[in-house]
Amino acid sequence: MSALMSYQIPTQEDTALAVESSRLLAACIGKGDSACLRLHDGDDVLQVPVKAIRLLVDILDAMARGDAVSLIPIHRELTTQEAANILNVSRPYLVKLIENGEIPFHKNGVRRKVLFKDLMEYKQKRDDASMVLLDELTAEAQAFDMGY
């Protein structure tokens, strides 16, 4: 994949086909490390890692919901605006996270760049912390018999 992000917005036909394709492909995934796919156009057999097939199932699921699909290489350098968009925060807030050392970055000239991998690690930590707090709130609500 190129260094650019790739966006694909599904058409109605894509969405309908993705629903069926995702279901069938998910059913074909075994427990091994790879799977064989036979292309309908010919007799060639394509050996594909199961992780790639699972990614394809996730893409098809998103398309089936009518969602746009974006693939970003793990080592892609993001601008602060791209990183902020991915986290759904403002660029100034993201810059504060960077300056506080919460997200690693490097400079390319005068511009700050964030690796997609580092951004996803931050997001995972943030999501994990949110789940811990949510679990605590749920336990507290149950302790007070609030009907949750």
Q: Report pLDDT digits (tens) over 86-106.
A: 999 999 999 999 999 999 999
The string of pLDDT tens digits covering residues 63-85 is: 899 888 888 889 999 999 999 99
Indicate the fold that domain 6-71 takes in CATH: CBS domain Like (3.90.1280)
Output the CATH code of domain 77-143. 1.10.1660
Question: 3-state SS of 7-33?
Answer: EECCCHHHHHHHHHHHHHHHHHCCCCC
Q: State how far the Cα of 2 lies from the Cα of 8, in Å rounded to an integer.
A: 14
Boundaries of every domain in the chain: 6-71, 77-143
Q: Which residues contact 117 (CB under 8 A, 6 or more apart)?
A: 74, 75
Per-residue pLDDT band at 28 (split at 50, 70, 90): confident
Per the DSSP assignment, residues forming a β-bridge with 71 are 6
